[in-house]
Amino acid sequence: MSSTHHGSCLCKGIRFTIAGELAPIQVCHCSQCRHAQGGPVGTNIPVPTANLSFQSGEDLLQLYESSPGKVRAFCRTCGSPVFSRRAAVPGVVRIRAGLLSEPVSAHLAFNAYVADKASWWPLHDGLPQYPAAPPANPSPVRQAGSRPLSA
């Protein structure tokens, strides 16, 4: 069964659709995600770029290389973070889960970079915790008829 998910930035200038099932939501506690989101965590859903389409506002995307090989995209009008992508993982973006229209069918997968988490944020959700990056992509993104992207 095919599913479609819709999302937008705060000002709704950027509107997008994700085709297919959503991968589990990855919760990142690294200082870069905290600074980029303005909160205690970043919540990311890996999405194959082939499954992502923009209905409007693609020209509103502003790109920022936050570290070598990692680009973050945000709306130049309202500032909403939209996605990030890494040169080391071609063909995949990490959509910010908070942009998706409810209800969202994806569940939480794990907490990453907990060694760097905000001192003021409690962590009692029962999810797997990784001090740094999770091991070898514990929740691989798949496209129909493809191998896991971690392979």
Domains delineated in the chain? 4-116 (2.170.150.70)
pTM for the whole structure: 0.85
Gap between the Cα atoms of 37 and 80, Å rounded: 8
Identity of the residue numbered 118: A
Residue 12: which region, alpha, beta or left (left: phi > 0; alpha: psi -120 to 50)? left
- Residue with token string 């890494």: 86
Q: Is the peptide bond before 103 cis (omega within 30 degrees of 0)?
A: yes
Contact yes or no for 14/58 (Cβ under 8 A): yes
Q: Along the 151 residues of the chain, how does pLDDT read in single tens digits?
A: 459 999 999 999 999 999 999 999 999 999 999 999 999 999 999 999 999 999 999 999 999 999 999 999 999 999 999 999 999 999 999 999 999 999 998 999 999 999 999 999 999 999 999 999 998 755 433 333 333 323 2
- Residue with token string 């910010």: 96
Spacing of C-alpha 101 from chain mean position:
14
Phi, psi for residue 27 in degrees, rounded to 5 = -105, 120
Phi, psi for residue 58 in degrees, rounded to 5 = -55, -30
